[in-house]
Amino acid sequence: MMNTTEVGAAPKAPPVKVEERLFQNRYLVDAGRPHIKIKPHAEPSKALMALTHLCPAGCYSLNDKGQVEAVVDGCVECGTCRVLTAKTGEVEWNYPRGGFGVLFKFG
Ligand code: SF4
């Protein structure tokens, strides 16, 4: 009789959406002191516009004046916006103060 079970293969877990994983995290918001700020702009650069699609936590959005805004309460501190706007300098990026920001939940 043939054994069809792969030796050492991990069982496959069902796919989980990013949104569902992010929902597991907890955040302590430093009210009135956002750790990421967008510099005032009339028109956003392509890099800044791209963040409305690329930020995994959905922190960036376009307002009705065509400017990009950020609400960073759910930021996972991945640094994507920092890297993407390094040349344009449109984003002022800092880590949250100690004790604030994201608390990752694993498992
Ligand atoms: S660090 Fe990552 S999660 Fe936080 S605002 Fe920038 S792109 Fe979004």
In tens, the pLDDT along 13-37 reads 888 888 888 888 899 999 999 999 9
> Is the pLDDT at 105 greater than 80, yes or no?
yes
> Is the pLDDT at 11 greater than 90, yes or no?
no
Classify residue 53 by burial, with Cβ atoms within 10 Å: 0-12, 13-18, 19+. Answer: exposed
Classify residue 16 by burial, with Cβ atoms within 10 Å: 0-12, 13-18, 19+. Answer: exposed
- Domain of 72 in residue numbering reads as 27-98
39 domain-assigned: yes
Domain count, the chain: 1
At residue 52, φ and ψ (nearest 5 deg) are -65, -15
> Is the pLDDT at 4 greater than 70, yes or no?
no
Tell me how long the chain is. 107
Q: What CATH number has the domain bearing residue 55?
A: 3.30.70.20
106 domain-assigned: no
Q: Closest ligand 1 atom, CA of 70? A: 5
Q: Closest ligand 1 atom, CA of 79? A: 1
Regarding pTM above 0.75, the answer is: yes
d(CA 102, CA 74): 7
